[in-house]
Chains A and B, each alone.
Chain A
Amino acid sequence: MLRSARCFLTAVAWLLALLVNVLPAAAADEAVLRPLVQALAEGSFDDKAAAIQALAGTGDPVVARVLEVLREGDLYQRTSDDLVVIAEKKQRELVLFDPITGEELETVKSRAASKIKVNNRLRRQIDGALGALTLMSPDRGTRLRAAQAVFDRANPDQLEGVRTASTAEQDPEIAEILGQAEAAMVLQSEEPEKAKLAAVDTLRKRGDRAAMAKLQGVVDDDSMPGLQEAARAALVAIERHYAMLSAAQNVYYGLSLGSVLLLAAIGLAITFGVMGVINMAHGEMVMLGAYTTFVIQEIIRQKAPWLFDVSLLIAIPSAFLIAGGVGVLIERGIIRFLYGRPLETLLATWGVSLILQQAVRSIFGPTNQQVGNPSWMSGAVNWMGLTFTYNRLWIIVFSLAVLALLMAAIRLTPFGLQMRAVTQNRQMAGSMGIRTPWVDALTFGLGSGVAGIAGVALSQIDNVSPNLGQGYIIDSFMVVVFGGVGNLWGTLVAAMTLGVANKFLEPYAGAVLAKIFVLVFIILFIQKRPRGLFALKGRAVEV
């Protein structure tokens, strides 16, 4: 939808550009360009690479358009006369445009034209060529992209073009990238050693992985010992910087993993921690929350696409209600008959989890469902050389918010008071007029509902399939037991500790061993402190 709209817009923009560009001039170029464009459809990827280079060499503004279309996979070859055309998809039909004049040719069945294939190597080449062609574009975004592209490819043949663009550039950010691109090109060119030393310095200041890749080429070449030494020193400096950062990065990864553990475990901290029910169907509550998100996104896609970016905000209360409702049903239907019989509860809830999984499988099918990321949860931000992905950042914030809300609900609301009363002394609470069975059901519903909310967040980073919950059930129990049964602070501290420990072990031990080490550590810890990090004290312990 967006794509075809963009195609349309680019086609229109291009037509306008052509009209402004005085038609006779374009016609004069056509004789030169036509065979070059035709060559894009011929032969192997090697031949196509040569054709792209030849096209880019003409420097004609039309070329940028053709290459962009080729990169997007919208350049086709008409089967009837082998003419290379630009095609716009319309369901099962293609609208064909002439690549040079831009006029609409005809609408054909999709089988009447075949797509000109590009692979990664060609796309890389096109990016470099397009970069050089669009460095002087009036649009800031295009220039920024172009500057980054010429830096990435660093083709010394483009050195002159970059220097010209660099002197003309007004925007400091783009000028800086152009300077770095110039440095990267100088390193590969035949420039004197002095210029190259300055270039090494420029790249050292940039100081990221991309700069390291450029410097590595110089280190491997021993024709200029002084330069080689400077590049090696620069590499060491950047690496030292990264080593320092890596601790910080690991803490962030750990907190992010911890927040996922926390989300998965909070609900269980209520049902298992507070009520003492060994709830094996907890993971399925998470899954129900994720499927609620999926259903809501589907409805939004069909009925109100403009709401897509807030779909998660709508999904949160819905997931809470649905998972919570199912939780109340499970409590009223099964668990209330089994209080005080942990083994039977375990088996019964295990059965419930299988029933829920298969029910979802029967309704939605066994395959993964696609839950989209809203735009504010895609991508990453770089800060001081650290990469923070938005979806993880939001999940950290979200998990803490859920925990805070839950704590507030337990401490400050009348229901929270009743809940605490019932768990601390059931008989006393009952004789004060609290309907304890009703409180039990709502408490279980609350725990399940919170698990449903966790499902909304987890749908953003994991697959939405009937098996979603199974991956989290062990981890959730681990967190609750480690943190101390019945203590939400303990759950928070345990989740974050386990997350960070896991992430610090992972680079050394690998993901599989790191997980095993963490489990062994918890087993040993529980031997020493059977009640977890934050044990409840006082009378409640014995109940």
Chain B
Amino acid sequence: MGGLKERRASIVAAAAALSMLVAGAAHAQEDTIKVGILHSLSGTMAISETTLKDVMLMLIEKQNEAGGVLGKKLEAVVVDPASDWPLFAEKARELIEVDKVAATFGCWTSVSRKSVLPVFEELNSLLFYPVQYEGEESSKNVFYTGAAPNQQAIPAVDYLMAEEGVERWVLAGTDYVYPRTTNKILEAYLKSKGVADEDLMINYTPFGHSDWQTIVADIKAFGSAGKKTAVVSTINGDANVPFYKELGNQGIAAEDIPVVAFSVGEEELAGIDTAPLVGHLAAWNYFMSVDSEENDEFITAWHDFIKSEDRVTNDPMEAHYIGFNMWVEAVEKAGTTDPDAVIDAIVGVSVPNLSGGYSSMMPNHHISKPVLIGEIQDDGQFDIVYETPGLVVGDEWSDFLPDSKDLISDWRKPMSCGNFNVATGKCGGSES
């Protein structure tokens, strides 16, 4: 009997010692809370993503000056996935397993997000994704702080219809998933508004397309049918500069055929002479020219951090600003960085956005934000000509696509489902 007792005591002691050891190790590790930054610093996407890395470093520095989170300092862990999609998944795994980050902020292209998604789900960690995307996705572990199509494309088209009386549409895009899906949604939406087939022209071009002569001439011809015509552009990245140059050279002014773009922001315009582009439009949730105190502070802080007055701010930067503040608040609310606790705590969290209002995290892991339409000015900034009267909630499953119109996503318990079909009343398999 005594032997058993003794043995039990020794097991207890050993367990206690072990738990102390683990706690000690954990303590040493958690002097700081690590935050992963997963943005390409080399390769094709470095042009856009490097800025986001810098803005995250700035936000973390500011948070540390304000006392950190849960009384601990934040520590940024920066990795470079080099615009290489499989490498994104490897680097994400490294961040979670080796560096033990509490949350990761990163990715730009949809394909990089799709590449890391299984890693974040398998290892149950958090990803904040700051870029506008095509929707049709919802993951328990991903928070989409950029715009879904209904927070960008649909209001832009509505504006052109109401304000400019546009009846003929050119949907021009780069040939990959974001433009294809967005254009599919827009096509269904425009047809539901009574736009005829012959008033729609859909055109795709390869990545980095630089010879726009034929297409711009086609657009010009398409626009001379006596009806007001507009171009909805989902042309990505580098192909935009030669496109706008060709428009200018062939004499298409914004007053004749306006172009509304979803991928052209202040950063992209920094590389072009914008004088011939005045009046062309972009739809975003944030512009650098937004007139609010939060924005003034943000711009000043950014210029101080990057040590240049010339650098611009743009929409994905604001998305990181919102996402980071939401994560900080959710962690404070949950009292821990444990992913499940944060996922439960973050839904409903509201933080100020930069356009003078508040954005909230919705149960579908998308956020609510205002939609702004801006016209390009000759100084490379946008003049805001329209703002949605209220906040628009990100709709992950588009109502205009037959496959997804019955789906909703709600990550609150007890539903906890990313693709719940309201028609059949069943969860489509994406559940926790």
- Which residues of chain A come closer than 8 Å to B121, judged between CB atoms? none
Distance A378 CA – B244 CA, assembled complex (angstroms): 13
Distance A387 CA – B216 CA, assembled complex (angstroms): 11
Please give me the residue from chain B that is nearest to A503 by CB atom: B214
Whether A515 sits at the interface, judged by CB under 8 Å, is yes
Please determine whether B226 and A220 come into contact, CB atoms closer than 8 angstroms.
Answer: yes
Please determine whether B210 and A471 come into contact, CB atoms closer than 8 angstroms.
Answer: yes
Distance A123 CA – B213 CA, assembled complex (angstroms): 27
> Are A370 and B272 CB-contacts (below 8 A) given A380-B250, A515-B206?
yes
Query: Among the listed stretches B130-138, B352-360, B377-385, which one makes contact with chain A, having 4 or more residues with CB under 8 Å of it?
Result: B377-385
Chain B, range 122-169, C-beta contacts under 8 Å to A: 163-165
Whether B85 sits at the interface, judged by CB under 8 Å, is no
Distance A522 CA – B256 CA, assembled complex (angstroms): 40
Please determine whether A512 and B175 come into contact, CB atoms closer than 8 angstroms.
Answer: yes
Whether B225 sits at the interface, judged by CB under 8 Å, is yes
- Which residues of chain B come closer than 8 Å to A392, judged between CB atoms? 213
- Which residues of chain B come closer than 8 Å to A373, judged between CB atoms? 245, 273
**Per-residue CB proximity of B244-260 to A under 8 Å, as 1/0?**
01101111001110100
Please determine whether A117 and B383 come into contact, CB atoms closer than 8 angstroms.
Answer: yes
**Which residue of the partner chain, among A250, A361, A389, contacts B246 with CB atoms under 8 Å?**
A389
Distance A466 CA – B42 CA, assembled complex (angstroms): 10
Please determine whether A213 and B226 come into contact, CB atoms closer than 8 angstroms.
Answer: yes
> Are A367 and B214 CB-contacts (below 8 A) given A217-B226, A361-B46, A461-B245?
no
Please determine whether A380 and B249 come into contact, CB atoms closer than 8 angstroms.
Answer: yes
Whether A101 sits at the interface, judged by CB under 8 Å, is no
Chain A, range 404-461, C-beta contacts under 8 Å to B: 461
| B190 nearest CB across to chain A (Å) | 19
- Which residues of chain A come closer than 8 Å to B270, judged between CB atoms? 367-368, 370
Please determine whether A210 and B255 come into contact, CB atoms closer than 8 angstroms.
Answer: no
- Which residues of chain B come closer than 8 Å to A73, judged between CB atoms? 377, 383
Please determine whether A387 and B211 come into contact, CB atoms closer than 8 angstroms.
Answer: no
Chain A, range 101-134, C-beta contacts under 8 Å to B: 115, 117, 119-121, 123-124, 127
Distance A464 CA – B213 CA, assembled complex (angstroms): 19
Whether B332 sits at the interface, judged by CB under 8 Å, is no
- Which residues of chain B come closer than 8 Å to A212, judged between CB atoms? 224-226
- Which residues of chain B come closer than 8 Å to A471, judged between CB atoms? 208, 210, 238
Query: Among the listed stretches A50-58, A253-261, A532-540, which one makes contact with chain B, having 4 or more residues with CB under 8 Å of it?
Result: A253-261
Please give me the residue from chain B that is nearest to A217 by CB atom: B226
Whether A14 sits at the interface, judged by CB under 8 Å, is no
- Which residues of chain B come closer than 8 Å to A365, judged between CB atoms? 50
Please give me the residue from chain A that is nearest to B385 by CB atom: A119
**Which residue of the partner chain, among B209, B214, B256, B258, contacts A507 with CB atoms under 8 Å?**
B214
- Which residues of chain B come closer than 8 Å to A370, judged between CB atoms? 270-273
Please give me the residue from chain A that is nearest to B205 by CB atom: A511
**Per-residue CB proximity of B296-336 to A under 8 Å, as 1/0?**
00000000000000000000000000000000000000000
Please give me the residue from chain A that is nearest to B225 by CB atom: A216
A interface SS class: helix
Distance A392 CA – B210 CA, assembled complex (angstroms): 12
**Per-residue CB proximity of B197-235 to A under 8 Å, as 1/0?**
000000111101111011101101101111100000000
**Which residue of the partner chain, among A216, A366, A506, contacts B214 with CB atoms under 8 Å?**
A506
- Which residues of chain B come closer than 8 Å to A317, judged between CB atoms? none
| A148 nearest CB across to chain B (Å) | 11
Whether A38 sits at the interface, judged by CB under 8 Å, is no
Distance A389 CA – B383 CA, assembled complex (angstroms): 29
> Are A120 and B249 CB-contacts (below 8 A) given A213-B226, A216-B225, A467-B238?
no
Candidate in A210, A392, A461, A503 with the most chain B CB atoms within 10 angstroms: A461
Distance A373 CA – B276 CA, assembled complex (angstroms): 12
Whether A369 sits at the interface, judged by CB under 8 Å, is yes
Please determine whether A214 and B226 come into contact, CB atoms closer than 8 angstroms.
Answer: yes
- Which residues of chain B come closer than 8 Å to A215, judged between CB atoms? 226
- Which residues of chain A come closer than 8 Å to B242, judged between CB atoms? 461-463
Please give me the residue from chain A that is nearest to B373 by CB atom: A119
Distance A81 CA – B211 CA, assembled complex (angstroms): 51
Whether A45 sits at the interface, judged by CB under 8 Å, is yes
- Which residues of chain A come closer than 8 Å to B165, judged between CB atoms? 121
Please give me the residue from chain B that is nearest to A389 by CB atom: B249
- Which residues of chain B come closer than 8 Å to A293, judged between CB atoms? none
Distance A391 CA – B248 CA, assembled complex (angstroms): 11
Please give me the residue from chain B that is nearest to A123 by CB atom: B255
Candidate in B211, B258, B272, B273 with the most chain A CB atoms within 10 angstroms: B211
- Which residues of chain B come closer than 8 Å to A124, judged between CB atoms? 255
**Per-residue CB proximity of B168-181 to A under 8 Å, as 1/0?**
00000001000000
| B167 nearest CB across to chain A (Å) | 12
Please give me the residue from chain A that is nearest to B50 by CB atom: A366
Distance A40 CA – B224 CA, assembled complex (angstroms): 31
Please determine whether B225 and A213 come into contact, CB atoms closer than 8 angstroms.
Answer: yes
Whether B75 sits at the interface, judged by CB under 8 Å, is no
Please determine whether A249 and B217 come into contact, CB atoms closer than 8 angstroms.
Answer: yes
Please give me the residue from chain B that is nearest to A127 by CB atom: B255
Please determine whether B249 and A209 come into contact, CB atoms closer than 8 angstroms.
Answer: no
| B3 nearest CB across to chain A (Å) | 68
Whether A487 sits at the interface, judged by CB under 8 Å, is no
Please determine whether B164 and A209 come into contact, CB atoms closer than 8 angstroms.
Answer: no
Question: 14 A–B contact pairs at CB < 8 A?
Answer: A119-B164, A121-B163, A121-B165, A124-B255, A213-B225, A214-B226, A249-B217, A250-B214, A358-B42, A367-B51, A368-B268, A389-B250, A461-B242, A511-B205
